[in-house]
Structure 1
Amino acid sequence: MSSSLVRMKHDKQKVKVPAIPTPPTFRLLCYLGQWVLVLLILPCSASAACDRLDRDALLSLPFNTPLNWSASTDCCLWDGVTCDPVEHSRVVRLSLPRRGLSGVVSPAITNLTRLTRLTHLNLSHNSLLGSLPDDLLSSLPSIAVIDLSFNRLIGRFPQSSNESSHLQIINLSSNFFNGTIPASILVPSVSVFNVSNNSFSGPIPVSNGGNHTSLTFLDLSFNKFTGPIPPGIGLCSRLQTFRAVWMLSNRKIIPGGNTDKTDFETMSSQSTAVAPELDKDTSLVILFPTKTNEIKDLSITEILKATDNFSQANIIGCGGFGLVYRATLANGTRLAVKKLSGDLGLVEREFTAEVEALSTAQHENLVSLQGYCVHDGVRLLMYSYMENGSLDYWLHEKVDGPSQLDWPIRLDILRGAGCGLAYMHQICEPHIVHRDIKSSNILLDDKFQAHVADFGLSRLILPYQTHVTTELVGTLGYIPPEYGQAWVATLRGDMYSFGVVMLELLTRKRPFEVCKSRGSRELVGWVQQMRREGKPEEVFDPLLRGKGFEEEMLQVLDVACLCVNQNPLKRPTIKEVINWLKDVGTSQQHEDKN
């Protein structure tokens, strides 16, 4: 016995202290206090609550962005980590979307297979590189959700899967995967399967005899799949959305028996697309949903009737790949129908580009694709009808057109077209480089609101790409100078073309006029020369002068000249241009650019 305790005993013998009753609540507090004291004096190096193997597996992941992960703390408390609420030591969820993660995932990601209780894995919208191991899915026996979308992953799809797995959602979209996808991946439990925006090839990964009764969402679009849509699609009784935009060479689209409730977004390249419920000789017009739902159950027969069998009297436009016709349906609704013709390869590309771009991008300042059809080898694209035609028509063709486009209307047209371009460049996924921005591709509705149109030359830019390799295309006078040096299409190239449109609205001159002298033949060069000579006001359309808008026009001229800079890196983004156009007429606009 210690000396302190001996003294305490001796003191109690000398002094009699009356006993004081202790309330139960007080005794409980004292008891809890003792345990708190015990916990406080425990060594700080006590083992973490989470499983050691789970912790080590997480620490091995090649994330270059710092996280609050430390071997000395409980991994169940780390960012993005969730442990089993019952068996607290095991990690069940890893969710780190949009954390700026970077690094090469292979081979370190194989350590994830040690997380045998993991049910949810979400590493989407990061910058992860590398490939996935073939046994990733089969080695995670509890995995239900895996989302690795919007990264930079390459290689082939994991080739093995467990038939008895719990997989429900697989999202590998917007990466750089290639190769084929085995049909065995779509186990019966999968309800969502999204591999869009990759480079997968081969047959569609849906087995004809497979049990896909849980499948509700299937997105295979923007890949390189070939072959027919398998009859197994028709056996997916719960399928609500099926997106598959690719070339089906010499095949028919046979969606199956549930077409009335399934959102089929498919395209055939070589033959008539037919559905079982339609007559054998009638092509299927595939329609996209509209806000008004005014167009339903449209057939090729109705299209032919609405255009008077594509009569010359209904021609409202002409492009490089065919004519555009006015179509008036029985209920009075008007459509613009583009009938593609010419070289089969070029027509095919135009058709594909339009459907890909406009089925992805939907905005009030973009022309709306209502539907498409392949009939007797002819490809048809159907758009919302624009009552006032093109900006080019009003500036250069209509006799009294320019006089009806006063400066406020022209400025609104620029703002509207800019908003449409901003949506393409920054908001829709994947981003779209138009490659043919010009006044004839800016259409005007009955209120002169601008709609960017004609996506036949457009290309989709996947995440983390800065450009797409392409052939030299475009329209003389609008083509950025760098396109002649390297065959790449960039968003900055679109900005050059948009700058030319701005100059066109300011001057009412065409971008390139063969009949003029060499010094004034090109609009961009002429405007830049006039500015160097200190005569910027002389470039403006005479119809706009003396109306009190000179200061605003000078501000827009400054923006346009920034856009047509010879150095693409010095051109502003569309977001900057939109902000400047909003501020036209205020001093803030000049301050922002300076």
Structure 2
Amino acid sequence: MAVRHRPMQLSRRVIASSEVTLTTLLLLILVLLSPCLSGRAGAACTGEEREALLSLLADLSPRPGDGLNASWRGGSPDCCTWDGVGCGADGNGDGAVTRLRLPRRGLGGTISPAVANLSALTHLNLSGNSLGGAFPAVLLSLPNVAVVDVSYNLLSGSLPDLPPAVGAGGALPLQALDVSSNYLAGQFPSAIWAHTPSLVSLNASNNSFQGVIPSFCTTTPDLAVLDLSVNQLGGGIPSGFGNCSRLRVLSVGRNNLTGELPDDIFDVKPLQQLLIPWNKIQGRLDHPERIAKLSNLVSLDLSYNDFTGELPESISQLPKLEELRLAHTNLTGTLPPALSNWTALRYLDLRANRFVGDLDAVDFSGLGNLTIFDVASNSFTGTMPQSIYSSASLKALRVATNQIGGQVAPEIGNLRQLQFLSLTTNSFTNISGMFWNLQGCENLTALLVSYNFYGEALPDAGWVGDHVRGLRLLVMKNCKLTGQIPTWLSKLQDLNILDLADNRLTGPIPRWIGSLKKLYYLDLSGNQLSGGIPPSLAELPLLTSEQARANFDIGPMPLSFTLKPPNNATANGLARGYYQMSGVATTLNFSNNYLNGTIPPEMGRLVTLQVFDVGSNNLSGGIPPELCNLTKLQFLILRRNRLTGPIPAALNRLNFLAVFSVAYNDLEGPIPTGGQFDAFPPVFFRENPKLCGKVIAVPCTKPHAGGESASSKLVSKRILVAIVLGVCSGVIVIVVLAGCMVIAIRRAKSKVSVGDDGKFAEASMFDSTTDLYGDDSKDTVLIMSEAGGDAAKHVKFPDILKATNNFGPASIIGSGGYGLVYLAELEDGTRLAVKKLNGDMCLMEREFRAEVETLSSASARHENLVPLQGFCIRGRLRLLLYPYMANGSLHDWLHDRPGGAEALRWRDRLRIARGASRGVLHIHEHCTPRIVHRDIKSGNILLDESGEARVADFGLARLILPDRTHVTTELVGTPGYIPPEYGQEWAATRRGDVYSFGVVLLELLTGRRPVEVVPTQRHQWELVGWVAQMRSQGRHAEVLDHRITGGGGGGDEAQMLYVLDLACLCVDAAPFSRPAIQEVVSWLENVDTIAASTSSEDVKITDGHGQI
């Protein structure tokens, strides 16, 4: 079954840009086909046409105030005068309706079949709306229609392979069809194109079509634009394009295409754009003649494929070629000297290949139009070629991650248009000389020179700031630079990001940093700085004003770049991320220095701050309560200092706090509960002996009042005497009554058992305690289910106490919203997981009983569920017994266990996803009543001895009765997994479970936690938003876990991309747009067949390393 693809409005894009874009060509075609698309008054249209238009309007749902209703319903009876309607041959005259143009009008609803009654219609444009439903086949059956544009809508279903009105030999007048950026899926049609001999432009990009690319050119010889990019098409690129004598644009990127480029594709001399990135195309590019035949080529993008060989020298013979993108294509060898004659070249991207040799082999002085030169992540050696400084148009120069050395020459000052310079991870020397020579680069905004200039002194002369005054991004990380933070940085008033981490800088953090009005990212970690944290940092406008931050426009960069999050921001195994500037978190990172003093309370004014890391310093004093105002904070890292006092309880109001590490301090008092604190692990609080709280299993004693006056003490003593006398009298009565009760209990003991039908019986006979649970509990039978086996039925309650060390902290193996989980190893070697539920939780007893009654039935037991084996109720004590899963949770393997993520290859992750989905399906559909889980997450997917997935904690939800669709809840899940609708109404639904399961799928695919360190713009704090942004940029494969994408062959990546589409369906913001769990199970079971036609070769995927 094919996965439906739901592209978001923000994800609509063109794979590669050039001066001759697909959009421009399509507009030119539309203009040629239609001299004027706007209607004006003419002879009255027919009544049939008027009724057809009104029927269409009834289904379109125009937005209020649009004017369409007023024009069509309240205006002239002559529909030729209506908004968007044109009549006559040119749309400007009399006669029948020939034009309907309503683009970007905010229309919803569906396209009415009544459009079939507009028999004279030649041009239909409904693009840029929110129209849903199936694509109406009748649109292609209209007898006169030449142009149909329904792009950028929400249409679903498939394209008809042959409209029913077309006979075997019939022909359609269709000339331009644009269905791009919808939700269309299924097999891409092939038969219909034999009936469109006049077709000039076809754009079906950004959908989920499967199948193969048809052989167009034999039946559509006039085809000029063909865009099938961003789909799931497989097979090879068919031969026959040589018959398309007018083809100017061929775009089939981001599919699953295999094989080699057909020879006749190089015979299409009019071809201007050949765009085939992100496929699995193989073969050699260095054929001496083929590429040279494409003499009109302007843009060539073959990046992210699996070619072999060297860069063909014949490419330089293409006189019009302006853009060449060959990143990640496995090319080897040296750059051919013939590139020196490539005078039209504007954009050259050769990143992440295996090129060697000196860049001096190319004479750049003749490349006067070159604006982007990117050769990062290769093996170039030598020095920077002197001739490159003659490329006066150069805006971005990146040679990062090579083996280039020497000094930056004075001639770099000739590059007056240069905006972006990245020399990261090379062997450059003389940092002072570099800054001196940059004085002519007056437009330079980004300078990245990390891992160079090893051990040199950071220049402190004031002229440095004058030479680079326009910088917005300055990254000098890990150069081991010496000296102090120079005052010339105060001149960089446009500076947004400053990264001086991992150097050897000394002295204080200057107070003048607070005067950098546009700074929002400051990383000074890993140095030898001393002194205090300057309160003047609270004067940074972009950190203190939400409005200033929201209105701040970062502006475009010639090249994207990446930043690594600070080391301490990845505490406890949180995934590292690599993020573009537009998504960099507001950050202050001063960790791993020698700072002292207190944390200034002024830090509480930094209301937009997302990462605050001062770990591993010598800070003292308390945690300022003012930090509770930092509502945007995601990482608060205070570990390894000398902090004292309590943890402010109001920190639990920080809803986005993902990491709160205060380990290795001297804090005291209770650890706050509620909010994010209920999800924090004990390691965040370790080595604070005076702390107490549930998370570290140290009970908090009630504080004693102090400072009583003498009169108060006298009164207290009199009250105490009275209390003692009363208690003594009461004890005598209680002892007598207790003796009677013990006799009665022992007589009744044998009546408690497991019923013959296997149902649970309630253990309600546990009595008073000596320790915690009492002497007479030694004869108490812990009631077990049939699932526990015969031996389990003889387990006694003291056995559990002994096996858990009286529920001691050393036996804790997990925690959650309902309570702690203990490992109980019985004397016979049986190991159980004992969940001790929180007795103070509202309505817990009723929920507990509901779970027991449901899970006692045979239908609730399933091979992909963790079975409930026993239970106990005694007053407020409630225990649930499960089999212990020795392989732990999926969360452990992906995020916490060293080497765990690498050990889970894709086939293992897919097996886990399938098993977990079957478990969720069982509780959703096959239990009576059905169960909503409410907290599906990787931590609740356990792995048994065979590595099979078992869903845990499903019985802790309230039950859905047959006549209800949702159940209200106090517990709505774990941050990062919670569906957006739960923030609007406190209701848990099965669709909400599907959302949470979709997040688990994203974890399996990316290897990242649901809450990322550095967010994306759209979903600023969650993995879901990051994936959405990457997909919107067409970077689907980059989200995949690079630790596993290289080991299973191309088929693995095809399957992963398929599951990625499925996961994104599951996390759709609209609950009823998500698939049901039955569909999810079916799709996961059929993943294998999707990649059947993909290549077995390894897929090369970038992980962002080294291209800064």
TM-score bracket for this pair, using the shorter chain length: 0.5 to 0.7
Q: How does 1:39-118 map to 2 (within 5 A)?
A: none
| Cα distance between partner residues in 1 of 2:962 and 2:803 | 41
Query: In structure 1, what residue type is equivalent to 2:1079?
Result: E
Check whether the contact 2:778–2:796 (CA below 8 A) recurs between aligned residues: no
Aligned partner of 1:315 in structure 2 is: 812
Identical residues among aligned pairs (%): 54
- Aligned residue for 1:498, secondary structure, equals helix
**Per the alignment, in what secondary structure is the counterpart of residue 873 of structure 2?**
strand
Q: Which has the larger radius of gyration?
A: 2
Letter in 1 for 2:1088: G
2:772 is aligned to none
Match of 2:1002 in 1: 503
Write the mapping of 1:47-446 to structure 2, written as runs, cut at 5 A.
257=751, 259=753, 262=756, 263-267=758-762, 282-290=779-787, 292-341=789-838, 343-345=840-842, 347-348=844-845, 351-352=848-849, 354-360=851-857, 361-375=860-874, 377-446=876-945
Q: Counterpart of 1:76? A: none
- Shift of residue 381, structure 1, vs aligned partner: 1.1
Long gaps (5+) in structure 2: 1-743, 769-774, 1094-1108
Note if contact 2:763-2:874 (Cα within 8 Å) is conserved in structure 1.
no
- Give the whole-Å Cα distance in 2 for the aligned partners of 1:562 and 1:588: 19
Match of 1:546 in 2: 1046
Quote how far apart the aligned CAs of 1:351 are. 3.3
Relative to structure 1, the CA distance from residue 349 to residue 260 in structure 2 (aligned partners, 3 Å threshold; closer, same or farther) is closer
Deviations 1:106-150 (A, max 9, x none): xxxxxxxxxxxxxxxxxxxxxxxxxxxxxxxxxxxxxxxxxxxxx
Q: Which amino acid aligns with 1:391?
A: L
Shift of 1:281: 6.2
Distance 1:477 1:252, change over 3 A: farther
Is the partner of 1:309 in helix, strand or coil? coil
1:497-576 mapped onto 2 (5 Å cutoff): 497-513=996-1012, 516=1015, 521-547=1021-1047, 548=1049, 549-576=1052-1079
Displacement of 1:344 after TM fit? 4.5
What letter corresponds to residue 505 of structure 1 in structure 2? Answer: L
Is the 8 Å Cα contact of residues 580 and 589 (structure 1) preserved in structure 2? no
The answer to whether the Cα contact below 8 Å between 1:468 and 1:489 also exists between their aligned partners in 2 is yes
Deviation per CA, 1:484-529: give whole Å up to 9, x if none: 2222221111111100100011111111235656665311111111
* Counterpart contact for 1:438–1:497, Cα < 8 Å: yes
- Please give the alpha-carbon distance, in whole angstroms, between the structure 2 residues aligned to 1:555 and 1:544: 16
In the aligned structure 1, how far is the partner of 2:1012 from the partner of 2:1005? 16
Secondary structure of the equivalent of 1:335? strand
Query: CA deviation digits over 1:67-110, x for unaligned, max 9?
Result: xxxxxxxxxxxxxxxxxxxxxxxxxxxxxxxxxxxxxxxxxxxx
What do residues 319-358 of structure 1 show as CA deviations (whole Å, max 9, x unaligned)?
2232211111222111111122362436535634542443
For 1:322, the aligned partner's letter is: G
- 8 Å contact from structure 1 (residues 372, 382) kept in 2: yes
Q: Structure 1 residues 494 and 255 mapped into 2: Cα distance closer, same or farther (>3 Å)?
A: farther
> Following the alignment from structure 1 to structure 2, what is the Cα–Cα distance between the partners of residues 496 and 252?
50
Give the direction of change, closer, same or farther, for the CA distance of 1:513–1:355 in structure 2 (3 Å limit): farther
Whether 2:1075 is the aligned partner of 1:578: answer no
CA-to-partner distance for each residue in 1:264-311, whole Å, 9 max, x for gaps? 5244789759xxxx9676444111002753423111111122223333
Question: What is the SS of the residue equivalent to 1:555?
Answer: helix
Following superposition, the deviation at residue 464 of structure 1 comes to 3.2
> d(CA) in 1 for partners of 2:1030 and 2:977?
19
Aligned length: 337
Return closer, same or farther for 1:339/1:390 CA change in 2, 3 Å cut-off.
same
Mapped contact 1:272–1:283 kept (Cα < 8 A): no
Distance change (3 Å), C-alpha of 1:555 and 1:328: same
- Worse-matched range after superposition: 261-270 or 444-453: 261-270
Q: Which residue of 2 aligns with 1:463?
A: 962
1:386-443 alpha-carbon deviations (Å, 9 max, x no partner):
0111111111111211111111110000000001001111111111111110000001
In structure 2, relative to structure 1, the CA distance for the partners of 1:582 and 1:329 (3 Å cut) is: same
Distance 1:386 1:350 in 2: 24
SS in 1 for 2:822: strand
**Separation of aligned partners in 2, 1:589 and 1:282:** 61
Which residue, out of 993, 998, 1001, partners 1:494?
A: 993
**CA distance in structure 2 between the partners assigned to 1:389 and 1:398 by the alignment:** 10
Tell me the distance in 2 between the aligned counterparts of 1:376 and 1:282.
18
Deviations 1:214-251 (A, max 9, x none): xxxxxxxxxxxxxxxxxxxxxxxxxxxxxxxxxxxxx9
Question: What is the DSSP-based 3-state SS (H/G/I as helix, E as strand, rest coil) of the residue aligned with 2:792?
Answer: coil
Partner letter of residue 301 of structure 1?
A: P
Q: 1:479 deviation in Å?
A: 1.0
Q: How many Å separate the matches in 2 of 1:465 and 1:345?
A: 22
Q: Name whichever of 425-434 and 347-356 sits farther off.
A: 347-356
8 Å CA contact 1:422–1:575 kept in 2: the answer is: yes
1:256/1:326 CA distance change after superposition, 3 Å: closer
How far apart are 1:456 and its partner, in Å?
Answer: 5.8
SS at match of 1:293: helix
Match of 1:167 in 2: none
Instruction: Measure the CA separation in 1 of the matches of 2:955 and 2:962.
Output: 21
Amino acid paired to 1:378: L
Q: How far apart in 2 are the matches of 1:489 and 1:509?
A: 25
Separation of aligned partners in 2, 1:431 and 1:589: 36
What CA distance in whole angstroms lies between the structure 1 residues aligned with 2:864 and 2:1065? 23
Amino acid paired to 1:394: W
Shift of 1:454: 1.2
Query: In structure 1, how many angstroms separate the alpha carbons of the residues matched to 2:964 and 2:1092?
Result: 31
Q: Return the offset for 1:466.
A: 1.8
RMSD between superposed Cα atoms in Å: 3.2
Q: TM-score, normalized by length of structure 1?
A: 0.52
2:102 maps to which residue?
none
Give secondary structure in 2 for the equivalent of 1:339: strand
1:317 positional shift: 1.3
Contact persistence 2:932–2:988 (CA under 8 A): yes
| Deviation of 1:477 (Å) | 1.1
Unaligned runs of 5+ in 1: 1-250
In structure 1, C-alpha distance between the alignment counterparts of 2:745 and 2:993, rounded to whole Å: 37
| Counterpart AA for 1:583 | N
TM-score normalised to the size of structure 2?
0.29
Would you say the 8 A contact 1:434–1:458 is kept in 2? Answer: yes
Worse overlay, 280-289 or 314-323: 280-289
Aligned pair in 2 of structure 1 residues 514, 357: CA closer, same or farther (>3 Å)? Answer: farther
Query: How far apart in 1 are the matches of 2:1038 and 2:745?
Result: 59
